[in-house]
Amino acid sequence: MGKASQLFKTDLKGLDRLIKKLRSDGYVVYGPVKRGRSWFFLEIDSVKQVDLNYVRTVLPPKKLLHPPREKLFEFKLGDGFEVSEKPMPPTVALFGVHPCDLKAIERQDEFFSQTPEDPYYLARRRNALIIGLTCTRVDENCFCLSRGTGPEVSTGFDILITDVGNGYLLEPGSAKGLELLKSLGFQEVGDEYLEAKQKLIEELKKSFTKQMPPEGLAELAKSMLEHEVWKETAERCLSCGNCSLVCPTCYCFDVYDVLELNLRSGVRVRELDSCQLLEYAEVALGGNFRRNRFQRLRHWMLCKFGVAGGGLYSSCVGCGRCIVYCPANIDLTEVASRLRGGG
């Protein structure tokens, strides 16, 4: 897609009109809302509810595209069975998605598009509208810069919003986005706004402290399966699975059937799962190929380093969530630097 050909500018009121327009177009709009000391993607109807200066939400926008729990189909038992697929839930618009999360959505898009396609994810995704938001600040756990996943972003959004000080720069990233911007009659502006945006981003880059460069990490980790860092780190791990739950690129799910009390009908559902949990790799008769905690922690980190099954698609985009929400203060960037021979 590259650089947008047309640029627009608006103020807070304009952003509010954008949200209202999306709602009147039938979207359920979600944006980053502050509750206590954390941010959450919640349904919004006005820009006033949104914190445009947020750092990261607890759960990534994944919760709206690859939900924690969803029905795959309903069935009726009796003489054999019948299956009926359910219509898709309402279309969502995600307002204010940061670059790392945009990148994670792109990876999930590609992952779920592999043959055979995942019809549930893709239907929801095709209908969704995504409005990105350039970060205004980073904290000590952000490391998108070193992952190449932010703070600049050129794809993965329909519209990208950047606070340029004297208003909001709006860049269309898709035909749908451009049409929206035009329909709202926002003021067209010139390339000098891109320069202003670039200056802000260059300034922002100076505040990153954490890093985990991808270069060679996958190969290195795979060649160091016996390194003591795995067992040492696993001694602290509680196998709670928080890290997967909050990770925007973790896609794993469990599938199970739920029968109604009448035992005649039921649903098959899928629910997000984590390879950090003991049951994840359990097979019949109590077998388990990742019975030890260090094996599960190692598998999860290998995945985030890009060497487990999901490859690049499930690898880390540097959002920092797993570090912030780990009850044992486990930090994958520290494991990576130990593998690289530091410390």
Ligand X SMILES: Cc1cc2nc3c(=O)[nH]c(=O)nc-3n(C[C@H](O)[C@H](O)[C@H](O)COP(=O)(O)OP(=O)(O)OC[C@H]3O[C@@H](n4cnc5c(N)ncnc54)[C@H](O)[C@@H]3O)c2cc1C
Q: Could you list the residues that contact other proteins (CB under 8 A)? A: 72-73, 75, 77, 80-81, 83, 85, 111-112, 114, 116-120, 222, 225, 251-257, 259, 263, 266, 268, 270, 273, 275, 280-285, 289-290, 295, 298-299, 302, 307-311
Q: β-strand 7-10 against 168-172: which pairing, if any? A: antiparallel
Length of the chain in terms of residues written? 343
Structure tokens at 9: 């500018």
Residue with Cβ nearer ligand X (109 or 254): 254
Q: Give the one entry of ligand SF4, other proteins, ligand X, none that residue 238 binds, where binding means its C-beta sits below a cut-off of 5 to 8 angstroms depending on kind.
A: ligand SF4
The answer to whether residue 321 forms part of the interface with ligand SF4 (CB under 6 A) is yes
Helix ranges, the chain (H): 12-24, 62-65, 99-113, 119-127, 144-147, 175-183, 192-205, 217-223, 228-234, 242-246, 293-305, 321-324, 332-339
Among 59, 130, 189, 243, binds ligand SF4 (CB under 6 A): 243
**Cα–chain-centroid distance for residue 322?**
12
Contact stretch for ligand X (CB under 6 A) within 32-40, 277-285, 321-329, 335-343: 277-285
Structure tokens at 80: 């054999």
Name the 3-class secondary structure at 236: coil
The answer to whether residue 258 forms part of the interface with ligand X (CB under 6 A) is no
Nearest to 10, CA basis, from 199, 136, 174, 170: 170
Least CB distance to ligand SF4 at residue 59 (A): 10
Among 320, 331, 335, 339, binds ligand SF4 (CB under 6 A): 320
Classify the phi-psi angles of 241: left when phi > 0, otherwise alpha if psi is within -120 to 50, otherwise beta: left
The answer to whether residue 31 forms part of the interface with ligand SF4 (CB under 6 A) is no
Structure tokens at 314: 């499930």
The answer to whether residue 284 forms part of the interface with ligand X (CB under 6 A) is yes
Among 114, 262, 283, 342, binds ligand X (CB under 6 A): 283
Nearest to 107, CA basis, from 221, 211, 250: 250
Residue with Cβ nearer ligand X (33 or 275): 275
Q: Give the one entry of ligand SF4, other proteins, ligand X, none that residue 247 binds, where binding means its C-beta sits below a cut-off of 5 to 8 angstroms depending on kind.
A: ligand SF4
Residue with Cβ nearer ligand X (24 or 256): 256
* Residues at the site binding ligand X, with contacts judged by CB under 6 A: 282-284
